[in-house]
Structure 1
């Protein structure tokens, strides 16, 4: 029964991750920590193991979704690799910082992180992106929006690398892949269109999770059996999320998801305190 539950966790994490560019660790990590407190056979799952295992699974979620988005030609490869310059070292630093957490401390900070992400998802639709100015030191792209109007998105490479370093650090620290912060940053700061932001985020999540996973593997923070059970569901879920993204508006799903994040985040903080 536990293994079936984990398979569904993988599908849910992959679907949500692929749909709105979060990576899926925001579901996998709490699920693994919850099981460690409920099932004696899984009591060995520490926050470090939960994060390391989640990041390994996210590699397959990210790859699956990225391949689907590549077929639809939505991935901005140049931007993805520029963001990766910052997120790769950030992921390594995050994996190192994770080793200093005990269970209670991790639950509190992860709970706060989840509530912050819920807040970002809540306000991101009400904030207009910054105006993008084309200049010598700015990378800019043009695209045709749904109203057939030409618009631009872009960024300064230095600012993009700094932001992606922070995103990578949090991804390696909490095992969430970093898309939870990178997508809002691309939407609000760089004026990316939502579909390109999500697709490029999944590419970045794939690359960053590879680096962060290597760091966690070197510290023996991966449960290979759990990963093997979660990965098939995450692979399928990643493709499913990308498919749903192409067919439906994700507003309703985001509303439900952010409410769940707030409830779960509050519960984790309560567990960590008491």
Structure 2
């Protein structure tokens, strides 16, 4: 049976995601650990599948309606992230099979990811403003024209970024949203913000799906929890998206970043 408390929590997180644009993992996973007492591994595994499902609708809109997904960049990110995600899952499975506790590794990784996400929240608006100022006036937003920062090294830099995200997201379920967006804004300063968001979403789906299925195979997914969160979060995201224009995000984002920073340090030093 679906739990009302989980549904309400899903709605609340979805509401914040819709208002702030912050990735659900950075909000959902700490909530599941601290409020409901789930083991970090179960919270991470469940949230990864939750993220892969909820992001599908966003990519559908970005690709079909806005044509705002740079699929070549998605491919480069996935070239680094998916093998690293599979490698990380293999290590976690081996630790699990041998009876070693993986909770501490996941907890520490979650703390680091939350701290990085908090920092990303504080600089993302700055990078977005700069990206809008240097955006090209024409409609040519190819990978080459967007790669103004590292020139001929943008391909290995993008693959390396994907690799880092692959490990971090698999271990913590955090990073596919805020960190991915900031990384793309830094790597491709001339890419429009709409394409940055669409590209990051498109890359997050296969990454979170692979990582989530891997955690499921290890036994780190609670299906009742997953269903409850989905029931609550989908309307929450819809409501939050409509409220985002009415809530002063410039005040809410620093508060949220500070909260994530404190939670991150708690995970790291507990």
Same fold (TM over 0.5): yes
Residue of structure 2 equivalent to 1:25: 25
Q: Contact 2:16/2:240 (CA < 8 Å) preserved in 1? A: yes
Note the alpha carbon deviations across 1:133-182, whole angstroms, 9 max, x for none.
Answer: xxxxxxxxx7549xx9x995227222211111111211111012622321
Distance change (3 Å), C-alpha of 1:82 and 1:96: same
Q: Where does structure 2 lack aligned partners over 5 or more consecutive residues?
A: 96-100
Distance 2:254 2:158 in 1: 28
Any idea what the Cα deviations from partners look like across 1:71-115, whole Å, max 9, x if unmatched?
Answer: 233322332233222221222233345565554554444223312
Quick one: distance in 2 between partners of 1:68 and 1:253? 26
More strand by proportion, 1 or 2? 1
Structure 1 residues 5 and 96: alpha-carbon distance in aligned structure 2, compared to 1, 3 A threshold = farther
Q: Pick which of 98-107 and 253-262 moved more.
A: 98-107
Q: Determine which structure has the larger helix proportion and give its number.
A: 2
Shift of residue 121, structure 1, vs aligned partner: 2.0
Partner residue, 1:208: 207
Instruction: Return 5+ residue gaps in structure 1 as ranges.
Output: 38-44, 132-141
Q: Classify 1:212/1:158 alpha carbon distance in 2 versus 1 (closer, same or farther; 3 Å).
A: same
| Distance 1:153-1:240 versus aligned 2 partners, 3 A rule | farther
| Alignment CA distance shift 1:167-1:249 (3 Å) | farther
TM-score when normalising by structure 1: 0.75
- TM-superposed CA distance for 1:228, in Å, is 0.8
Structure 1 residues 199 and 219: CA distance shift in structure 2, 3 A: same
Output the CA distance in 2 between the equivalents of 1:244 and 1:178.
Answer: 23
Find 2:56's aligned residue among 60, 63, 66. 63
* 2:72 maps to 1:72: no
Distance 1:109 1:69, change over 3 A: same
Q: Does 1:121 pair with 2:121?
A: yes
CA RMSD between the two structures: 3.5
Name the SS of the counterpart of 1:74 in structure 2: coil
107-116 or 204-213, which deviates more: 107-116
Count of aligned pairs: 251
Distance between the aligned counterparts of 2:92 and 2:18, measured in 1?
A: 25
Range that drifts further, 66-75 or 255-264: 66-75
SS in 2 for 1:221: coil
Residues 1:84 and 2:78 aligned together: yes
Q: Write the mapping of 1:93-112 to structure 2, written as runs, cut at 5 A.
A: 93-97=87-91, 102-104=102-104, 106-112=106-112
**Within 2, Cα distance between the matches of 1:50 and 1:65?**
23
Q: 1:25 to 1:159 in 2, by over 3 A?
A: same
Greater alpha carbon shift after TM alignment, 63-72 vs 197-206: 63-72
The 3 A distance-change label for structure 1 pair 121 and 225 is same
Counterpart Cα distance in 1 of 2:178 and 2:130 = 19
Which residue pairs with 2:98 in the alignment? none
Distance change (3 Å), C-alpha of 1:32 and 1:259:
same
